Structure 1
């Protein structure tokens, strides 16, 4: 997600965790952990939505096919 001053990227790591990187104009890039290892299917994908500038929701497929989320 990006608004010109702020950008977020989320992804599945090889061990099945969900991680993100957040970029802010004034601070640069910072890492963030969204879920623990083995939370996501390594073949799964991540969906990120934002209804406002200060709130992001992350959805992914769990190890056994469930839909997981972090707000």
Structure 2
């Protein structure tokens, strides 16, 4: 599978690192209360950072395109 353009890769990583933990926190807070919402946000944040690190270092998403 071909890598998306550099600008899209950075945007996807930014969304991954912000929207996922914030969304999990808000959803957990709304459904289960404050403490569970924070826990959901922390767990989602851990997985988001792991996935972003994998994409950046193992898949080479941090390198700019050489055209």
Kindly indicate which of the two structures has a greater share of residues assigned to strand. Answer: 1
**TM-score interval, normalised by the smaller of the two chains:** under 0.3
Q: TM-score, normalised by structure 1?
A: 0.24
Structure whose CA Rg is larger: 2
Of structures 1 and 2, the one scoring higher in RCO (CA 8 A, sep 6+) is: 2
Kindly indicate which of the two structures has a greater share of residues assigned to helix. Answer: 2
Q: TM-score, normalised by structure 2?
A: 0.24
